[in-house]
Every structure is written in structure tokens, then in C-alpha cells.
Structure 1
């Protein structure tokens, strides 16, 4: 069995006995392990000798305690550095002091590191262009950033409904409490009655370190976006009025051609003009139908002209001079080509408008059975400009490996949003390698197949830089992004994950390694309410 002397000598804590003169009478071997001082070098030396000068004023020898004392100070290591020690001291009736010390230097460094990390996080949140705050169930405002204070003022001591809305009781319909009730994110808009600014609000469920439910709310000022939408609607009206003017004469067909070119440019805006695709479709159909009639009328006029030339082969000098001046033969040949080109342009615009409507499907808010491949093709058409060769990178090749799939029940617009998010990220990753000259054959492979009779699989694979394990673990977390500031806010993949897993009862996962590209796998049931996916 160990006796007290064994315990004194084997302990990793620093033990010492200090006499009434303030000098060491006995120390254990741990002093050499922790501070580098051999016990024999300390016996008879003053307690204050190794103490940091700034800590001497509050030292035990000056306060003369008559009972146990807990105290932290710095002691000199033999190498010249100082270590923080936590002391437990007590004085006996004989005037001897017994001390037990423990090295807490590492714990203090960890605390300092955590404090620095916390401060960095707060600084980052304060630099966000959106206001952000935490709300517990008691309606109080938890943490908030500087942007929140700029929009709502100081919320100290006020519940959220008073600080943000000036009310004396909770709102009758509280989006935040919908998050508590459903444990699902909420996306909505709010208009500041004081400034007229429009904010897009995102509420997300959150659990603090104590397990208490909270809500993270972030509001981004989208006033500029709303103004852009209004400008697009006004532009739509202008386009409609111009198209109506094309119904009168053949000469105005050239104006129609210019309008078609402008419409094609507008369609290249992709998602931004999805809302006007329906309105553009009507005048395009009118033009397309009238080109057929115009072609017939011109053909009849040309036949009449040929008949005149046959019946009157010798025109008057004035007519002959005019025929030569306007190059009648060239006009006759080129007019057919011109009408054919206009017809091709009209067909092209109709296809783009159809792709926009198939992609957005804004009028289809319910789940319905659709062709998955149609959504993929619409998304690829909207991304054609991103896939084309640029001065700093070659064409991004798209390989399609479509399987034989049945119609799949889904929310079409939301599923197309997921496809757009994943393909856009793949293009961004490939461009980043091409720009620095580390890739000359970028490609994206899209593969679809049946997992079994109840499930379909869609795989999107790129040969880009790949994704590390650390990033994959947070890939679907809200607000997590690896893009530079201003390029993304970290919600695209989080929302995509929610659409697949919650809206469609499916699965979304990523398989990747650094330098090996990335593969995103989407699995959804063909029919909802079917049995779960087999493991």
C-alpha cells in the first residue's frame, strides 16, 4: 500500500511545504517535471523567488490567509518562460503552509483560442449585408449583428415583437413560431413600413448548447431585385405593344425581326425572365403564323411578276432602268432566303420560351407526373452560355447517359431548381481550374436509371477539383459556402437538400475526393407514398 510519502512523491501535481519565513521546506519531484527545478535546488529558497513580478502584490505571503485559499499565478520555468499554476493553499496552526499546484497553461491557451475564434465569428456576422439574430421561445432577442441594430435599433430588454414591430403583444401570425411548430425553415418577404425596403427573410431551426430550440432569422435587402422585376414587367409591356404593330404591313416584318432578336437576348437571361415567358409566347406564335402567309403572298407576287415578264418581255426604258438599279433578280432570290431565315429565328425563339416555361413551371405548384429528362434539357439550354468556350477556358462538354424512365411524381419547378444549383456549382468548379491552366478537357456527365421498380436515380458528375471530406460534412449546412464573399451565401445546396429529402421523400448525397471530381446522386420515388428505399 502507498503511504503519504509515496503519494507526495508520485503525484503529478506540485506539492510543497513553506515555513513561516516564506521559504520552501519540502517539495515533491513534480516540480522538476513541470518547471524544470530539482527539489534540492528549491529547499531553503523563498516562495516569491520564482513568482512573476506582477503577481507578487497579490501573493499569499502578503495576504497571510488563515484558511484555505484558491489562487492562480505565474511561476518561472527553468528555461526562462512562465507557466500559469492554480494553487490550493492552507496554513496549519504551527504556521506551516501546505500548497498544491497544477499547471493550467494549456487550459488558458485553449480558452484564449476559443475567445479569439468567438470574436472572429462575431466580426464575420457583423460584416454580413443581411440582418441576423437568434430568437428563443420566450420571444426575447438573443444574439444579433450590427445590421440588425441598423434596421431595428437597440433591442436590449425588449421582446422581438416590440423591438422589431413596435407591438405590445406577439404577432397573430408569427413566421418564427411556424419554425418551432414544424421544425422546418421558412422563406418569406417583409416590407419595412419606415423605409419601404423589401427584405427576404429566412428562418431556420437551431438548437443551442443546452439543447434548447431556437430560430436563426436572416433578412436580406432585396429592394434592388424588386425594382429590377418591375422594370422587366414594364419592358414586357413595351415588347407587347411593339409586337402588335407588326400586324399591319409586310414592310414591318423587318421590325418584327429586330424584335425577335431582342426577345432572344431577353430569353438568355434564364431564370430572371421566366416570369415573362408566357407573355412573349403569344406574339411569337402570331409572327410565326403570319410568316407562312407572308411567304405565300410574296410567292404569288413573284409569280405575277414573272407572268408580267413573260407577257411583256420588253419593258419601257424607265422600268428596265429601275430593274437594274434595284437588282430585281437578286431581290427575287434573296427574299426567299430572308423569309426562311426569319422562320428559323421564330422557331428558335419558340424553343427558348418553351425551355423557360418547362424550367420554371411557375403555374405548377402541385405535385404531378413529369418527364425528368425534359427538366434536364431545359436546365441545360438555360446554361448554354456558361457551357460555351470562353477566352479563359474551353467548351464544357456535357455527356448524357439517359435510361428508360417512367413519368415521375414531383414538384417540377423545385426539382429544376435543384438541377440548376448542382450544375451551376459544377460549372463554377470546372471554370476555376481552367482559369489557372490546370484543366483543358472539362466535362459534366448526366446519368439516369431505375434503381428498382419504385425509385429513379439521377447522377451529375464533373471532372473538376473535387471536394474534401471536411467540406462534404458541411456541404448541406445552411450558410456554409467555400465561394468568395459576394459569390454566394451558402443556401443553394441546403435548399436543394431540403427539396429532395423533405418535399420528395428522397435522398441527396455527394461522392468526391480532392482531385477526383464530384458526383451528386439524387434518388426519388417514382410515386409518392410508396415503400421506403431499400438499403
Structure 2
């Protein structure tokens, strides 16, 4: 299928009757073009001038490859086989002489004509390059440390290590820590490094390398990786010379302090990068929130705007009639009686009240939606506070209302509520609402996919709240969708794990939800599911947080 037909089908599918495929071709912000069999431009849309500065007359008749960066040109790059689709990214010439990164999708019809769509991804490429530069700078910093540094998991393996580590102990690939560092066949009977896993406290100790006689001052620091798994950062600094002289010792202590500061800064940068990932996922959730709110606000606003015109006309007619009464009062003249009959004063007076009531109702609806937005995001409440859990659930459901409604390809999703008598709960309200949004969104996604292949089953989401004991509450969210396999359930809370198609999910939503519940609220987040039986998520948090 060629690209224009593809657009036409999508326009018909969405029941947009006011646009045709030519309108869509000309109004789209993406770069559309048709390339003749000889590889030259045959037709382009106006977006080319907006994005790359080229007018149609600058391109038509010129080869497509003429504008590709020389380093990105591949022989026979354009697709030649009919009815095949191709995708790649390359740099494309802007009219100002610079190059922009574009992501291409191309397809060829039976006559060899190529239909292409390009998206401007220049900003994304620049962001990726900046992140890679920052990461490489961090690695360079760690490699410049005079101390050896490595990551120690609790299985005696060796994770990341810097250049100094390899200089001291050689390549540790395939070796356990006691083999690579001490040359032993069994773990050390007493290992200060592993004491960190038991105490979760830093350890400062000295170690003598039996092979060289060098003395190292070891600093072990606990932290958790992106998966929430406990690990230890170990840094070892050679202090052999320090032991030989007090003067050298004082100097070495000063250097050690400086290098510790560098290590702390490196760790701060690692934690900052982790926070950026979390913030990115939160912004993704807020993006869904804004889209839902925008849809909900659109209807009442349109309702009000549509009635304002009529209200103004009625008011104007009433004013004219009153002015006529004042002129002819006290004895109604025939012209006034005629005006009353022609304008239907009683009907207008009565209908005007209804119109104003309708506009008031629309305004109240907008107000409720905005209040729900604030209750959900709670952007001004970064600290812990006491809140009504049910209010957060209702706000989240209101924001997702558009996704719960019936669509052309699936029925409406029914919400079944079973709320218990909950006390006010101390929590980070905005973060807890983010967890509710993630779980409910995943449930809706599962039901939309499931309802397509199981039309006889009415999609439902059940929400139940209850007090578990005197000091904690539970929120249960269950769907009657397709469920999960044991393999998916086992990896459900792993960072970057997702079963959604590319571009539909980051794989961070559930892992961050798990972190919010377990670390920020000292609670539990679990899932019960099996194929064909749906999925149930259980959130358990204390009623009062312990500082």
C-alpha cells in the first residue's frame, strides 16, 4: 500500500470527513515526499520548508541522495523491490548549510515509485550524544583516580572496575573477587567488605597484599543499583609509603581526603542520573494526565461557548423589548404587542435561565476537573502529609475517564468499587497517585488488547480498599484481562522491562512504582496473576510513616 492510501485509510477509519488525503499530506508537520523511479523528488509537502528551509521548487527534480550527508550515503540505499518498507536514520542537508538528523520510513509501489515519511529527530540525537559524553566523562574521572575502585555484588563477583584496579590485580574477567584480588581458592573467613551487606554501614580498613607487600587503605560504601539490589563500592588506596614515615602519612591523608571527595562526587553524579530517569517516567505519566484532562475540559468549554452566542441574542432581544415598553408605557401599543408575539418573550425569558444554568454547570465541571488535576499531581506537596486515599483514586479515575469509555474497537471498561472505611493516611500523595496511574494505565492497556480478541467478555477493573490491621491499609486493583505468564510476572518490577511495543512504554513505570511503595512508604507492592485470569496488584502501606 502506498503512503497516501495509507493516510486515506486512517482518515476513513477515524471518521474525519472534512479532511482528504491531500489535506493531510499538505498540513502534516512530518516531511512527506514522493520519489520517482529515477531517485529524484516528484512531490513534497510544505513541511520541508518549515523543517529544512527547502521550497518544493528547490527539491523537485533533484536526486534524493543529493541532500544526504556524504558519510551517511549507502550504495543502493533507496528501496528497489516493490511493496517493501524500509527504515533508517541519516543526516540531511538544511538550506542554511547545516545537517539535521531525520528518521525515514519508505515504501515502494509496483511501478518503482517511492513514498517516504521523515521525522526530525535532531534534538533527540543531540540529547543522546550529550548523555554519552557525560557518561564517558564520568568513566574518565573514575579511571583517573589513583585508587583502585570496583563494584562488589553479594555473589563474590566483580562488577564495574576502573583502570587502576586492572593495573594492580590484572584482568578480573571470569574470576571471583577473592581469586582476582587475593589469589585465594576460597572466600576469606572474615571479609570487611561483606560486613557492609550485613550492617549497611561503610567500612574503613587496611589490607596487605601478600603478593607485593603493599598496604592498601580500603573504603567500602553501600548503595543499591537500578534494580534495587544491594552492592558495595570498594576503593583501595596504596598507603605503603605512608606507613614508612609520619610526614608522608599526613600528606597521604590529605590526598585521600581529596580523592574521597572525588568519589563522593562521582557517586552523586550516578544518583543524579538515576533521579533523571525517575523524573522522566514521572513526566511521562503527567503527559498522560494532561492529555486526559484536556479531553475532559474540551467538552464543557465547547458547551459553554456554544450557548454564549444564543444567550447574547436573547439578552439583546429582551433589552430591545424593554426599551420599547419604556417608550410606550403605561399603555401597551400595538407595536409592543406585535414585538412580544414575534420574539416570544416568555419563551426567551425561560430559555435564557436554562442557558445560564447550563453554562454554570459547564463551569463547575471545569472547576472539578482542575481540582482533580491538582489532587492527582499535588505538585505543591512534595513532603509527606495526611490524605484521603479514596480522593486520590477518584482523581486518577476521572483523569483516565476518556480511556474508560467505549471506542470503535473495544467496549467501555466498567469500574467496580468496593471502598472500605479508611482513615487518613500519611504518604507522599503525588508519588502514590503516580503509582495508581501506572497500575490503572497498565490494566486499561491489557483490557483494550484482550477485548479485541475476546468480544464476549465484558472488560472490568475492580478497586478494593481495606484496613489490614491497626497500622496499615491495602489497595487492590484487579482486571479480568489476559493475565501474565510466570516469566513476565517474575520480571514485572525490573527496570526497562516491558511487554509493550516499541514506543509504547519505557519499562520504568512498574519499577519506579515498586521503589515508591517499598522505599518511600516502607510498604509492599505485589502482583497475583496467571494466564487467562487477569491480574491483581496489591499495595500495602502503613497508616503512619516512621521517620
Shorter-chain TM-score: what band? 0.3 to 0.5
Give TM-score scaled by structure 2 length: 0.46
- Give the number of the structure whose alpha-carbon radius of gyration is greater: 1
Give TM-score scaled by structure 1 length: 0.47
